Amino acid sequence: MRIPAQPAGLPHEFAPDTELPGWDPAWSRLVEADTHDGVHTFHVLDTGPELERLGVKPDAVILAVHGNPTWSYLWRHVAATSLATAREWVEAASTDSPRRRQRRPRIWRLVAPDQLDMGFSERLEHTSSPTPGRPRSYRTLAERLSDLDAVVRALGLDVDAQRSTAPVPLFTLGHDWGGVISLGWAADHQHLVSGSISLNTAVHHDADEPIPAPLQAALAGPVLAGSTVVTTAFLDVTLGLGHPGLASETKHAYRAPYQGLERRGGIGGFVADIPADAKHHSYQPLRHIARNLSSSSLPTLLLWGALDPVFLDRYQQDLLERIPQVDLHRYETSGHLLAEDQDLGTPIFSWANAVVDEQSRPLDSAVAAASPRPAYRALWSFLEEKSDSSETALVDMTATRNSRPDGVSWATLSRVVNAIAVGLRRSGVKPGDRVSLLVQPGRDLTAALYAVLRVGATAVIADAGLGIQGMTRAVHTARPQWIIGELPGLTLARAQRWPGRRLSVSTLGAPLRAALQVENSLYRLADTYNGHVYHATKDHPDPEPAQTAAILFTSGSTGPAKGVRYTHDRLSALTQLLRDNFGVVPGSSLLAGFAPFALLGPAIGATSVTPKMSVTKPATLTATAVAEAAAAGSATMVFASPAALRNVVATAPQLSEDQRRQLGTISLMLSAGAPVAPDLMDQVLELMPQAEFHSPYGMTESLLLADIDRDTLRAAHREAPTEQHGVCVGHPVPGVEIAIAPLNADGTASSQLRRGTESQGILGEIVVSAPHMTAGYDRLWYTDHLSKRDFDGERQWHRTADIGRIDGSSRLWIEGRLQHVVTTAHGPLAPGGPEAQIDTLQAVSRSAVVGVGPHGTQAVVAVIEPTDRSVKPGLAPTWLSDQVRETVDTPIAAVLVTNQVPVDIRHNSKIDRTRLSRWAETVLSGGKVSTP
């Protein structure tokens, strides 16, 4: 679309022939506002007139402020989202649509002025100069705050004279230095504003930290004018920060108001107004904004592009610590131009609607409560109760002395945890501090973890299997104040410049300690404070049950790893679930080849045995390692992933007779992390004939949800109707309720839940409620908002993004992930069902079912990894295609062969169907056949 021609007599310029993709000319209006230095004309994006044309009165307003060198074009997608809601409602209200009978959605008006000297607002005379690109003066931060106030008054968005309150809820939205202005104006006008939202910005710069490199270059004396005004260098660099890169048409639209150096004075002036030191005239106004935000009562949402080279993570952390009521959603693959990288309209309005709903809710109204929890028991309570016990608390087969396993008594473990906890407190660790633990499972990690929990700090645990990039992303997301690590982890932290003060596990030599910036060691703290007993104090109280205890990062196999928050009471509920339902009771001995459960033994009062294996590579667990660990710790229970068990079975021939007898004493075998095939169960039970085999279903967000044993698994596959396929994971464990959100025709999940017998046989997203499930995602407000739904006002529910169904015997079947649903012309198809059928063929090693083509009319394509490696990749031979089609009761458009179906390394089971779908589309369109 094109912007309107310049109205006659106005002292600024429009560019009538400029194409502006995504912009509606009806949004443009010119507003004359009485500023501190006279009346000036502002170009304003305003959806109000369009709402008036639709006959809809807005219920709330968002006041958006752009930064430098953008303009109100930045907010076009947010405007489009707000108007789409209004148009959909108007259309529904004029028909017999069921939506007509629903409650009217909140209608939002978006107002986004171009700042003076920017966009298509008025250019000020004093920014022109005989010397090209050398403006004599420019609009300062204080003046821009005043300008915004003038626009608000001119549009009537300010105070209602009768009530001294805003006519409708008003929210501010900003980006870059527009974030500073919008946050500053909101903090100064809290009587008008209901909440504030900001994209990447900063209100404080630590004098000890260097200014980000891009700004250093622009601020460099004579360079400033040349890079910002005389040339388009600053503008061009900014427009190059898209992830992915901006389309040329979009770049052209951003450049439209800045054609000619006489129109770029505001860009240079904005850069020159950055207060690089305390002598700058905008330094004190910026400090005023920072102080105001610290005492603000306004709810605030930060939407943050993690790849921003200007507004670095330290600025995000400052805002999180500074603003009392703040939510955050980080976009790990986006950067400075976040509004271009992501669709922000939906999260913005979702958050703002939630704030308005909360502010308008009666104080005594009921809110969905957490699922009922068992009585809380502090996670370190057994360490206190058994502080005099000589019984074995843990056996670490990864740490040996004189070729003997390293056993630790309860008394020793209690003493060491107390000493380290006292040492951590005296080192400066405070309740609520985040502590990243870069330690392999075993005695050292157990001691470190329980000391961190004891002082009320939050343990941050990111699996080394994420790789350097994934772990770096996790650490920058969690932003820990402390890092406790072994030498490899500390070396990585130093090389990647991870945040946090550093403590080593073992004591390092002075040169290495200095090189790694390590302040102290846990071993030294344990020696120094040996015999001290940790007691809570007024300044360091014991953590409350609802306080965050740990942030566990997901495996990253279904997207960027997410931090999952667990509170003390939710972890306490998990330990009691293990005790009550699986017999992991005080005095028992658990051999844990599955890292999360290796750390729960002390909280249960059970002996923990850590086998010799690589935690990041479960398949390194051997049958010999299991037998040796079981013997050393007198273990009668084993917990291991299916990937680990496959290698245990494969290495069984290496067992001695004594080792086989030792495995014969195992009474319980637990396996989680991925579904366990019946034949693998049988093979494991041949090695452990006295064991009862259970395969719990769960995820990082809720580690135990359902459970199935061998007999139930076989009965389910034998009895299940033909229309139910996938993998059966059994019945919900006590305390867990599982419901189904039915799939809509477009493959999305309904907002309505089916529970109990009403859920049986319906394909949909699996939604769970449990006392031990996550308290939410860390610093991912929108993801958390989407996953947590108050469906019934009674319990908290979590949307798992797994899809499946519940059969007539109340058993749960898993059939894939929500994002992998194939949307055919006949309705949504879950890939797990046909995959389970195809995998029964002898010619198939592994299969994946994906959709190819336009959403809603996708063709179903089966991708086969054959057992016969001589079958060439590409279109499958006729005999294999025929076998697949005869086996599956779903129409298959094409059958393709690949050398390897891509799966995650950690679980060796989660198929990357998105990647396979792209590959299949390439092959079917005649592209090169290569490994997906």
Burial class (CB in 10 A: 0-12, 13-18, 19+), 551: buried
Where a domain ends, among 595, 610, 625?
A: 610
Domain-embedded: residue 575 = yes
876 and 784, same structural domain? no
Give the CATH number for residue 863: 3.30.300.30
Structure tokens at 761: 């046989």
Chunk the chain into consecutive blocks of 10 residues (it has 932) and report each block's average pLDDT, rounded to whole numbers: 40 56 94 94 96 94 97 97 93 70 86 96 66 60 96 84 63 97 96 96 80 61 74 93 95 94 90 85 93 95 96 94 96 96 96 92 58 84 95 85 72 97 97 95 93 97 86 93 96 94 96 96 97 94 96 80 94 92 89 76 92 80 93 91 90 95 93 81 94 91 91 80 70 94 93 90 94 93 86 78 92 92 94 90 92 93 92 92 92 92 67 90 84 72
Residue type, 246: L
* pLDDT for 16: 43
Domain-embedded: residue 633 = no
Domain-embedded: residue 649 = no
428 and 305, same structural domain? no
CA dihedral sign of residues 141, 144, 148, 149 = positive
149 and 96, same structural domain? yes
CA 541 to chain CA centroid, Å, is 30
CA distance 223 to 229: 10
886 and 807, same structural domain? no
788 and 766, same structural domain? yes
Burial class (CB in 10 A: 0-12, 13-18, 19+), 404: exposed
What angle, rounded to 10 degrees, do the helices at 410-427 and 443-454 form?
50
519 and 554, same structural domain? yes
Nearest to 815, CA basis, from 827, 826, 804: 804
Domain-embedded: residue 540 = yes
Residue 428's φ and ψ, nearest 5 degrees, are 115, 5
Domain-embedded: residue 557 = yes
Give the CATH number for residue 297: 3.40.50.1820
Strands (E), 546-651: 548-553, 563-567, 589-592, 607-610, 637-639
Tracing tokens 């999180």 back to the chain, one arrives at 320
Residues 355 and 195: beta-carbon distance below 8 Å = yes
396 and 536, same structural domain? yes
Q: Per the structure, how many domains does the chain have?
A: 4
* pLDDT for 134: 43
Residue 284's φ and ψ, nearest 5 degrees, are -65, -40
CA distance 741 to 755: 9
Domain-embedded: residue 696 = no
Q: Which residues pair with 822 in a beta bridge?
A: 829
Burial class (CB in 10 A: 0-12, 13-18, 19+), 442: buried
Q: Rounded to a whole number, what is the distance in angstroms from the first to the last CA of the chain?
A: 40
Question: Sheet harboring 404-409: ordered strands across?
Answer: 404-409, 392-401, 607-610, 589-592, 637-639, 668-670, 692-694
Structure tokens at 651: 């290495």
CA distance 73 to 510: 56
Tracing tokens 């507004």 back to the chain, one arrives at 311
What are the residue ranges of helices labelled H in 566-622? 568-582, 595-598, 601-604
* pLDDT for 107: 95
CA distance 435 to 542: 17
Where a domain ends, among 610, 629, 659?
A: 610
Other beta carbons less than 10 A from residue 384's beta carbon: 14
67 and 98, same structural domain? yes
Burial class (CB in 10 A: 0-12, 13-18, 19+), 252: middle
* pLDDT for 789: 67
Domain-embedded: residue 260 = yes
270 and 242, same structural domain? yes
Range of the domain at 173: 25-359
Distances (CA, A) of 211 to 204, 232, 272, 311, 789: 11, 22, 14, 10, 42
Residue type, 319: L
Burial class (CB in 10 A: 0-12, 13-18, 19+), 566: buried
Domain-embedded: residue 275 = yes
Q: Which residues pair with 41 in a beta bridge?
A: 32
826 and 808, same structural domain? no
CA distance 644 to 623: 10
239 and 115, same structural domain? yes
Contacts of 781-788 with CB under 8 Å at 24 or more apart are: 781/301, 781/327, 781/328, 781/329, 781/347, 781/351, 782/329, 782/346, 782/347, 782/350, 782/351, 783/329, 783/562, 785/347, 785/350, 785/351, 785/354, 787/701
462 and 503, same structural domain? yes
Q: Which helix (DSSP H) or strand (DSSP E) does residue 503 occupy?
A: strand 501-504
Give the CATH number for residue 481: 3.40.50.980
Opening angle at CA 135, ends 131 and 141, nearest 5: 175
Where a domain ends, among 592, 610, 628?
A: 610
CA distance 311 to 212: 8
